[in-house]
Protein backbone atom coordinates (compact mmCIF):
# COMPACT_ATOMS: atom_id res chain seq x y z
CA UNK A 1 0.00 0.00 0.00
CA UNK A 2 1.19 3.47 -0.80
CA UNK A 3 1.17 5.37 2.49
CA UNK A 4 1.29 9.14 2.07
CA UNK A 5 3.23 10.88 4.84
CA UNK A 6 4.59 14.44 4.95
CA UNK A 7 8.06 12.92 4.47
CA UNK A 8 7.28 11.23 1.16
CA UNK A 9 4.92 13.97 -0.05
CA UNK A 10 7.05 17.11 0.05
CA UNK A 11 6.47 20.39 -1.76
CA UNK A 12 9.24 22.26 -3.50
CA UNK A 13 9.81 25.99 -3.91
CA UNK A 14 12.78 27.45 -5.77
CA UNK A 15 14.58 24.10 -5.65
CA UNK A 16 14.12 23.62 -1.89
CA UNK A 17 11.93 20.79 -0.58
CA UNK A 18 9.85 20.91 2.57
CA UNK A 19 8.01 18.05 4.27
CA UNK A 20 5.84 20.43 6.30
CA UNK A 21 3.13 22.19 4.33
CA UNK A 22 2.58 24.69 7.12
CA UNK A 23 4.56 27.93 6.96
CA UNK A 24 4.25 30.05 10.09
CA UNK A 25 4.75 33.70 10.90
CA UNK A 26 6.77 34.85 13.91
CA UNK A 27 4.85 38.07 14.65
CA UNK A 28 2.33 39.02 17.35
CA UNK A 29 3.52 36.54 20.01
CA UNK A 30 3.59 37.67 23.62
CA UNK A 31 7.23 36.62 24.01
CA UNK A 32 10.02 34.74 22.25
CA UNK A 33 9.63 31.65 24.45
CA UNK A 34 6.05 31.19 23.22
CA UNK A 35 7.15 31.93 19.64
CA UNK A 36 9.75 29.16 19.81
CA UNK A 37 7.41 26.64 21.47
CA UNK A 38 4.57 27.26 19.03
CA UNK A 39 6.81 27.01 15.98
CA UNK A 40 8.27 23.77 17.30
CA UNK A 41 4.74 22.40 17.83
CA UNK A 42 3.65 23.49 14.34
CA UNK A 43 6.28 21.31 12.70
CA UNK A 44 6.96 24.17 10.27
CA UNK A 45 10.30 24.29 8.48
CA UNK A 46 9.86 27.76 6.99
CA UNK A 47 9.06 30.88 9.02
CA UNK A 48 8.34 34.42 7.92
CA UNK A 49 10.24 37.28 9.54
CA UNK A 50 10.32 41.06 9.20
CA UNK A 51 13.34 43.35 8.86
CA UNK A 52 13.57 46.27 11.28
CA UNK A 53 16.04 48.68 12.85
CA UNK A 54 17.94 47.31 15.83
CA UNK A 55 16.92 49.06 19.05
CA UNK A 56 20.19 50.71 20.03
CA UNK A 57 18.92 51.94 23.39
CA UNK A 58 18.53 48.38 24.72
CA UNK A 59 21.51 46.41 23.50
CA UNK A 60 20.68 43.44 25.72
CA UNK A 61 17.18 43.04 24.27
CA UNK A 62 16.69 39.42 23.16
CA UNK A 63 16.70 38.76 19.42
CA UNK A 64 14.40 36.46 17.45
CA UNK A 65 17.39 34.52 16.10
CA UNK A 66 18.36 33.48 19.63
CA UNK A 67 15.03 31.65 19.95
CA UNK A 68 14.19 30.61 16.38
CA UNK A 69 17.42 29.43 14.82
CA UNK A 70 18.03 30.41 11.18
CA UNK A 71 20.11 27.24 10.96
CA UNK A 72 17.09 25.11 11.80
CA UNK A 73 14.32 27.06 10.06
CA UNK A 74 14.31 28.63 6.61
CA UNK A 75 13.76 32.34 7.27
CA UNK A 76 11.46 33.96 4.75
CA UNK A 77 12.00 37.72 5.10
CA UNK A 78 8.97 39.84 4.23
CA UNK A 79 8.42 43.38 3.03
CA UNK A 80 5.75 44.28 5.58
CA UNK A 81 5.58 48.05 5.93
CA UNK A 82 6.86 48.72 2.40
CA UNK A 83 4.54 50.61 0.10
CA UNK A 84 6.73 51.03 -2.98
CA UNK A 85 9.01 48.87 -5.12
CA UNK A 86 12.01 50.93 -3.93
CA UNK A 87 11.25 50.28 -0.26
CA UNK A 88 10.73 46.56 -0.90
CA UNK A 89 14.01 46.20 -2.78
CA UNK A 90 15.88 48.18 -0.12
CA UNK A 91 14.43 46.09 2.73
CA UNK A 92 15.11 42.75 1.07
CA UNK A 93 18.64 43.69 0.07
CA UNK A 94 19.29 44.20 3.79
CA UNK A 95 17.56 40.89 4.54
CA UNK A 96 19.74 39.16 1.96
CA UNK A 97 22.85 40.56 3.61
CA UNK A 98 21.64 39.66 7.11
CA UNK A 99 20.54 36.17 6.19
CA UNK A 100 22.59 35.33 3.16
CA UNK A 101 19.80 33.91 0.99
CA UNK A 102 17.49 35.27 -1.67
CA UNK A 103 14.15 33.52 -1.05
CA UNK A 104 11.76 36.26 0.09
CA UNK A 105 8.11 37.08 0.66
CA UNK A 106 6.90 40.15 -1.17
CA UNK A 107 3.87 41.91 0.24
CA UNK A 108 2.80 45.41 -0.68
CA UNK A 109 -0.33 46.32 1.20
CA UNK A 110 -3.04 48.89 0.70
CA UNK A 111 -4.44 50.97 3.57
CA UNK A 112 -6.60 49.77 6.49
CA UNK A 113 -9.21 48.51 7.12
CA UNK A 114 -8.53 45.78 4.52
CA UNK A 115 -4.72 45.91 4.07
CA UNK A 116 -5.65 44.29 0.77
CA UNK A 117 -2.68 43.54 -1.54
CA UNK A 118 -1.90 46.56 -3.73
CA UNK A 119 -1.49 44.64 -6.96
CA UNK A 120 -0.21 47.51 -9.11
CA UNK A 121 2.60 48.15 -6.61
CA UNK A 122 3.14 44.41 -6.06
CA UNK A 123 3.70 43.82 -9.78
CA UNK A 124 6.24 46.64 -9.95
CA UNK A 125 8.06 45.43 -6.84
CA UNK A 126 8.10 41.81 -8.06
CA UNK A 127 9.69 42.91 -11.30
CA UNK A 128 12.37 44.93 -9.50
CA UNK A 129 13.15 42.12 -7.04
CA UNK A 130 13.40 39.42 -9.71
CA UNK A 131 15.70 41.69 -11.69
CA UNK A 132 17.84 42.01 -8.57
CA UNK A 133 18.19 38.22 -8.26
CA UNK A 134 15.58 37.50 -5.60
CA UNK A 135 13.37 34.41 -5.58
CA UNK A 136 10.00 35.92 -4.86
CA UNK A 137 7.11 34.26 -3.07
CA UNK A 138 4.37 36.80 -3.58
CA UNK A 139 1.39 37.72 -1.43
CA UNK A 140 -1.41 38.68 -3.79
CA UNK A 141 -5.11 39.17 -4.35
CA UNK A 142 -7.35 36.18 -5.09
CA UNK A 143 -7.18 37.30 -8.72
CA UNK A 144 -6.24 34.64 -11.31
CA UNK A 145 -5.23 37.26 -13.89
CA UNK A 146 -2.78 39.01 -11.57
CA UNK A 147 -1.56 35.63 -10.27
CA UNK A 148 -0.79 34.48 -13.80
CA UNK A 149 1.07 37.67 -14.54
CA UNK A 150 3.19 37.23 -11.40
CA UNK A 151 3.97 33.64 -12.34
CA UNK A 152 4.90 34.59 -15.91
CA UNK A 153 7.16 37.29 -14.50
CA UNK A 154 9.09 34.62 -12.59
CA UNK A 155 7.69 34.57 -9.07
CA UNK A 156 8.48 31.21 -7.42
CA UNK A 157 5.26 30.91 -5.41
CA UNK A 158 1.83 32.54 -5.58
CA UNK A 159 0.26 33.37 -2.22
CA UNK A 160 -3.30 34.67 -2.49
CA UNK A 161 -5.06 35.85 0.65
CA UNK A 162 -7.85 33.70 2.06
CA UNK A 163 -9.25 36.78 3.82
CA UNK A 164 -7.79 40.05 5.15
CA UNK A 165 -4.64 39.66 7.29
CA UNK A 166 -5.45 38.78 10.88
CA UNK A 167 -9.22 38.64 10.20
CA UNK A 168 -9.57 34.93 10.92
CA UNK A 169 -12.39 34.68 8.36
CA UNK A 170 -10.99 31.69 6.48
CA UNK A 171 -11.04 31.21 2.71
CA UNK A 172 -13.65 33.69 1.48
CA UNK A 173 -13.27 33.07 -2.24
CA UNK A 174 -12.62 29.34 -2.69
CA UNK A 175 -13.57 29.34 -6.37
CA UNK A 176 -10.86 31.83 -7.34
CA UNK A 177 -8.30 30.16 -5.07
CA UNK A 178 -9.09 26.93 -6.94
CA UNK A 179 -8.77 28.65 -10.33
CA UNK A 180 -5.35 30.01 -9.29
CA UNK A 181 -4.28 26.51 -8.17
CA UNK A 182 -5.46 24.96 -11.44
CA UNK A 183 -3.58 27.41 -13.65
CA UNK A 184 -0.31 27.63 -11.66
CA UNK A 185 2.84 25.64 -12.29
CA UNK A 186 4.52 27.09 -9.21
CA UNK A 187 3.36 26.38 -5.62
CA UNK A 188 0.21 28.14 -4.41
CA UNK A 189 -0.15 28.97 -0.71
CA UNK A 190 -3.10 30.55 1.02
CA UNK A 191 -1.53 33.37 3.00
CA UNK A 192 -3.63 35.39 5.45
CA UNK A 193 -7.12 34.93 6.78
CA UNK A 194 -6.82 31.52 8.38
CA UNK A 195 -8.66 31.61 11.72
CA UNK A 196 -8.64 28.03 12.91
CA UNK A 197 -7.53 24.55 11.88
CA UNK A 198 -10.62 24.05 9.71
CA UNK A 199 -9.60 26.96 7.48
CA UNK A 200 -6.16 25.44 6.92
CA UNK A 201 -7.70 22.05 6.17
CA UNK A 202 -10.13 23.64 3.73
CA UNK A 203 -7.35 25.50 1.91
CA UNK A 204 -5.36 22.28 1.60
CA UNK A 205 -8.41 20.35 0.38
CA UNK A 206 -8.75 22.90 -2.40
CA UNK A 207 -5.29 21.78 -3.51
CA UNK A 208 -2.96 24.40 -2.07
CA UNK A 209 0.66 23.32 -1.81
CA UNK A 210 0.97 24.85 1.64
CA UNK A 211 -0.69 27.33 4.01
CA UNK A 212 0.85 30.32 5.78
CA UNK A 213 -0.48 31.08 9.26
CA UNK A 214 0.53 33.68 11.81
CA UNK A 215 -2.24 35.44 13.78
CA UNK A 216 -4.42 32.34 14.21
CA UNK A 217 -1.62 30.65 16.14
CA UNK A 218 0.03 33.64 17.81
CA UNK A 219 -3.23 35.18 19.05
CA UNK A 220 -4.96 31.94 20.12
CA UNK A 221 -5.56 31.51 23.86
CA UNK A 222 -3.05 28.65 23.73
CA UNK A 223 -0.68 29.24 20.79
CA UNK A 224 1.18 25.94 21.25
CA UNK A 225 -2.05 23.93 21.18
CA UNK A 226 -3.30 25.85 18.13
CA UNK A 227 0.03 25.23 16.41
CA UNK A 228 -0.53 21.49 16.87
CA UNK A 229 -4.09 21.86 15.57
CA UNK A 230 -2.84 23.70 12.47
CA UNK A 231 -0.26 20.99 11.83
CA UNK A 232 -2.93 18.30 12.04
CA UNK A 233 -5.35 20.41 9.97
CA UNK A 234 -2.87 20.97 7.16
CA UNK A 235 -1.99 17.27 7.10
CA UNK A 236 -5.65 16.23 7.10
CA UNK A 237 -6.44 18.61 4.25
CA UNK A 238 -3.50 17.38 2.21
CA UNK A 239 -4.46 13.72 2.74
CA UNK A 240 -8.08 14.44 1.81
CA UNK A 241 -6.94 16.24 -1.34
CA UNK A 242 -4.70 13.30 -2.28
CA UNK A 243 -7.46 10.80 -1.45
CA UNK A 244 -10.00 12.54 -3.70
CA UNK A 245 -13.27 13.55 -2.14
CA UNK A 246 -16.63 12.12 -3.21
CA UNK A 247 -18.82 14.26 -5.43
CA UNK A 248 -21.57 16.31 -3.81
CA UNK A 249 -25.05 14.99 -4.57
CA UNK A 250 -28.44 16.44 -3.86
CA UNK A 251 -29.82 13.06 -2.79
CA UNK A 252 -29.11 10.28 -0.29
CA UNK A 253 -27.30 7.09 -1.11
CA UNK A 254 -27.54 4.31 1.51
CA UNK A 255 -24.32 3.14 3.11
CA UNK A 256 -25.63 -0.32 4.04
CA UNK A 257 -26.67 -2.97 1.49
CA UNK A 258 -30.39 -3.16 0.69
CA UNK A 259 -30.07 -6.89 -0.05
CA UNK A 260 -30.11 -9.75 2.49
CA UNK A 261 -32.54 -7.99 4.81
CA UNK A 262 -34.32 -10.28 7.30
CA UNK A 263 -37.98 -10.69 6.56
CA UNK B 1 44.03 69.22 16.91
CA UNK B 2 41.10 69.79 19.19
CA UNK B 3 38.63 67.20 20.39
CA UNK B 4 35.94 68.04 17.82
CA UNK B 5 38.11 67.36 14.80
CA UNK B 6 38.79 63.87 16.12
CA UNK B 7 35.16 62.84 16.13
CA UNK B 8 32.74 62.10 13.33
CA UNK B 9 29.07 63.08 13.60
CA UNK B 10 26.71 60.75 11.83
CA UNK B 11 23.25 59.24 12.21
CA UNK B 12 22.65 55.64 13.22
CA UNK B 13 19.09 54.34 12.85
CA UNK B 14 17.89 57.91 12.68
CA UNK B 15 19.62 58.98 15.92
CA UNK B 16 22.58 61.38 15.98
CA UNK B 17 25.83 59.79 17.16
CA UNK B 18 29.48 60.74 17.42
CA UNK B 19 32.31 58.28 16.95
CA UNK B 20 36.08 58.70 16.94
CA UNK B 21 37.63 59.49 13.57
CA UNK B 22 38.80 56.31 11.89
CA UNK B 23 36.00 54.17 13.33
CA UNK B 24 34.96 51.40 10.93
CA UNK B 25 31.57 49.73 10.60
CA UNK B 26 33.03 46.82 12.58
CA UNK B 27 34.11 49.30 15.26
CA UNK B 28 30.63 50.85 15.36
CA UNK B 29 28.99 47.44 15.84
CA UNK B 30 31.39 46.73 18.68
CA UNK B 31 30.60 50.13 20.18
CA UNK B 32 26.86 49.45 20.22
CA UNK B 33 27.36 45.83 21.28
CA UNK B 34 25.97 43.99 18.26
CA UNK B 35 27.19 40.71 16.76
CA UNK B 36 28.00 41.25 13.08
CA UNK B 37 26.42 37.96 12.05
CA UNK B 38 23.01 38.96 13.43
CA UNK B 39 22.61 42.26 11.60
CA UNK B 40 22.87 43.94 8.22
CA UNK B 41 24.24 47.43 7.69
CA UNK B 42 23.36 50.06 5.14
CA UNK B 43 25.46 53.18 4.67
CA UNK B 44 23.92 56.06 2.73
CA UNK B 45 21.42 53.65 1.12
CA UNK B 46 24.17 51.20 0.06
CA UNK B 47 24.54 47.77 1.62
CA UNK B 48 27.87 47.30 3.39
CA UNK B 49 28.86 43.66 2.81
CA UNK B 50 29.79 41.88 6.03
CA UNK B 51 33.22 41.15 4.56
CA UNK B 52 33.87 44.90 4.28
CA UNK B 53 32.91 45.95 7.83
CA UNK B 54 36.52 46.28 8.99
CA UNK B 55 37.70 48.32 5.98
CA UNK B 56 34.66 50.61 5.76
CA UNK B 57 35.43 53.78 7.70
CA UNK B 58 32.64 56.07 8.83
CA UNK B 59 32.50 59.63 7.51
CA UNK B 60 30.81 62.77 8.76
CA UNK B 61 27.08 62.91 7.95
CA UNK B 62 26.90 59.21 7.08
CA UNK B 63 23.42 57.80 7.45
CA UNK B 64 23.81 54.32 8.87
CA UNK B 65 21.01 51.78 9.23
CA UNK B 66 21.56 48.65 11.32
CA UNK B 67 18.76 46.13 10.95
CA UNK B 68 17.93 42.61 12.10
CA UNK B 69 15.16 40.07 11.81
CA UNK B 70 12.14 40.51 14.05
CA UNK B 71 8.87 38.64 14.39
CA UNK B 72 6.60 39.13 11.38
CA UNK B 73 3.92 37.46 9.30
Residues 6+ apart with CB under 8 A from A39: A24, A26, A47, A68, A73, A227
Angle at A242 between CA A237 and CA A248, to 5 degrees: 75
d(CA B25, CA B57) in angstroms, rounded, equals: 6
pLDDT at residue B23 greater than cutoff 90 = yes
d(CA A212, CA B50) in angstroms, rounded, equals: 31
Instruction: Choose among A91, A191, A175: nearest CA to A140.
Output: A191
Task: Name every chain A residue with its beta carbon within 8 A of the beta carbon of B12.
Answer: 56
A105: annotated active-site residue? yes
d(CA B68, CA A155) in angstroms, rounded, equals: 25
Query: Distance, in angstroms, between B50 CA and closest chain A CA?
Result: 7
Distance of CA A249 to the CA centre of its chain: 32
* DSSP category for residue A106: E
Asked if residue B60 lies in contact with residue B6, where contact means CB atoms within 8 angstroms, the answer is no
Nearest CB to B71 within list A50, A56, A93: A50
pLDDT at residue B2 greater than cutoff 60 = no
Task: Name every chain B residue with its beta carbon within 8 A of the beta carbon of A26.
Answer: 70-73
Phi-psi region of A129 (alpha: psi -120 to 50; beta: other; left: phi over 0): alpha
Task: Name every chain B residue with its beta carbon within 8 A of the beta carbon of A98.
Answer: 38-40, 67-69
Query: Distance, in angstroms, between B10 CA and closest chain A CA?
Result: 15
Considering the entire predicted model, what is its pTM? 0.90
pLDDT at residue B3 greater than cutoff 80 = no
d(CA A43, CA A21) in angstroms, rounded, equals: 9
Asked if residue A27 lies in contact with residue A50, where contact means CB atoms within 8 angstroms, the answer is yes
Q: What does the pLDDT read at residue B4?
A: 52
* C-alpha neighbours within 13 Å on the C-beta side of residue A135: 14
For residue range A78-134, list pLDDT tens digits in order: 999 888 888 999 999 999 998 878 999 999 999 999 999 999 999 999 999 999 999
d(CA A42, CA A24) in angstroms, rounded, equals: 8
ipTM score here? Answer: 0.88
Which residues in chain A show pLDDT less than 70?
A: 1-2
Asked if residue A69 lies in contact with residue A44, where contact means CB atoms within 8 angstroms, the answer is no
Amino acid sequence: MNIVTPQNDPWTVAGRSFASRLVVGTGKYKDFETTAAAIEASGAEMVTVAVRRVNLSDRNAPMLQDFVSPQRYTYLPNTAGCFTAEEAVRTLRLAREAGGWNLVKLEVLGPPPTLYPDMAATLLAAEALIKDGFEVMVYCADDPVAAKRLEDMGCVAIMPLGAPIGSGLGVQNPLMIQKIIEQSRVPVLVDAGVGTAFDATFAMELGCDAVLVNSAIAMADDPVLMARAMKAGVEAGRLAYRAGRIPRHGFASASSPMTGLIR
Amino acid sequence: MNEASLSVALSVNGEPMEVAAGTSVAGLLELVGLAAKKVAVERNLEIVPRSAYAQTLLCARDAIEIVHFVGGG
